Copies of this chain bind each other. A is one copy, B any other.
Amino acid sequence: MNKRISINSIAKELGISTTTISFVLNGKASEKRISEKLIKKVMDYIEEIGYKPSTLARSLRTGKTNIIGLIVEDISDPFFSTIARQIEERAYKSGYKIIYCSTENNRDKTKELIEVYKDRHVDGYIVVAPDGVEKEINDLCARGKPVVLLDRYLPNVNTDYVLVDNFNSAYNATNYLIKNGFRNIAFITINSLQVQMIDRLLGFEKAIKENGCTQHVKEIAYHDSEEAVKHIVSLLNRTPEIDAIFFATNYLCVSGLRALKSLNLKIPADVGVVCFDDYELFELYTPSITSIAQPTEAIAENAISLLLSRLKKGVTAGKFQKVILPTSFIIRESSAK
């Protein structure tokens, strides 16, 4: 009864060959000199029965899947989920589907995910890479699969990437704190070798040194919020002279707000706060939190454009692009006494 419709069944039904149908379907009809009459016949019939070619079979034959693999750090982080949504939308318009997943910044999980995507024959990759996966990414490039890195690059990987200007953003934000009278500023970050985190730290340190301030750098091995809160509480107890905190990521800042609340420290009277990366919460929090907002739309737009152009022109066409975008500094209540 419910016999599958395939290009074969259609060919049989219409009494023509599958080749002809395939040509018509792929817009090669005129190139291959299929007559108008036959084209119409095929199109009409396909329309009538609502036939859609099997992507599976097509991919097997062509080696292309029209799928882009998007690997981010955490899809439930608003920064990444926003970018994911925008990439998805743009890709969709160009006939590509996105499949995404989260690495949780875990090296082994990332390697596994790349393996899964290779297995699924995705055509290209957009990756927010943890450190330690250089070899795997290089391997993808070597196999002719375009890769665009996001949020951070990998030192020994030669491919396109899209970043924000972490160094100057952190430098400016730190200077702003200093100008507002804070002198003992803590920089709370994750213990990671990722370049974007290093750059943020370097920007911070430069501003501190130029102004002869005291810096307190605290690296946290982030596993969950509760643990981070404890670390921050402990830091503030040990070092009561800290009068401001620069949080290097949004989730560290959320933990920080919890910590400050539990210590009953007032922002900004007792402790000034700025955060790298914006978040709805920061706008609504009392007091509202000053932050460095990343241009998610531009990041998504650049990443997908780079990837699509490589997919069209090939991995080796032209030089690799290194896109560095500016951030915007959103001054709120938390950063001035």
| Interface, chain A (partner B; CB < 8 A) | 52, 54-57, 59-60, 65, 75-76, 78, 81-82, 84-85, 88, 97, 99-102, 116, 119-121, 254, 257-258, 261, 280-281, 284-286
Besides A54-B60, A75-B84, A285-B286, 9 new A-B residue pairs in contact (Cβ under 8 A), listed by A number:
A55-B120, A55-B121, A56-B120, A75-B75, A75-B81, A76-B82, A254-B280, A258-B284, A280-B281
**Nearest B-chain residue to A117, judged by Cβ:** B97
Distance in Å from the Cβ of A289 to the closest Cβ of chain B?
10
Which residues from B are CB-within-8-Å of A75? 75, 81, 84-85
Q: Tell me what chain A mostly uses at the interface: helix, strand, loop, or mixed.
A: helix
Which residues from B are CB-within-8-Å of A281? 280-281, 284
**Nearest B-chain residue to A81, judged by Cβ:** B76
> Which residue of the partner chain, among B56, B102, B116, B280, contacts A59 with CB atoms under 8 Å?
B56
| A97 B116 Cβ-Cβ under 8 A | yes
A119 to B55, CA, bound (A): 7
**Copies of the polypeptide in the assembly:** 2
Mind listing 12 A-B residue pairs with CB under 8 Å? A52-B119, A54-B121, A55-B119, A56-B56, A56-B121, A75-B84, A76-B78, A76-B84, A81-B81, A254-B280, A254-B284, A281-B284
- Which of A59, A88, A121 gathers the greatest number of chain B CB atoms within 10 Å? A59
A59 to B280, CA, bound (A): 43
- Which of A55, A76, A100, A257 gathers the greatest number of chain B CB atoms within 10 Å? A76
Which residues from B are CB-within-8-Å of A120? 55-56, 97
A280 to B281, CA, bound (A): 8
A97 to B117, CA, bound (A): 10
Which residues from B are CB-within-8-Å of A88? 101
Distance in Å from the Cβ of A210 to the closest Cβ of chain B?
34
Distance in Å from the Cβ of A287 to the closest Cβ of chain B?
9
- Which of A85, A88, A121 gathers the greatest number of chain B CB atoms within 10 Å? A85
A261 to B101, CA, bound (A): 36
Which A-B residue pairs are the 8 nearest by beta carbons? A76-B81, A286-B286, A99-B99, A281-B281, A56-B60, A55-B119, A56-B59, A57-B60
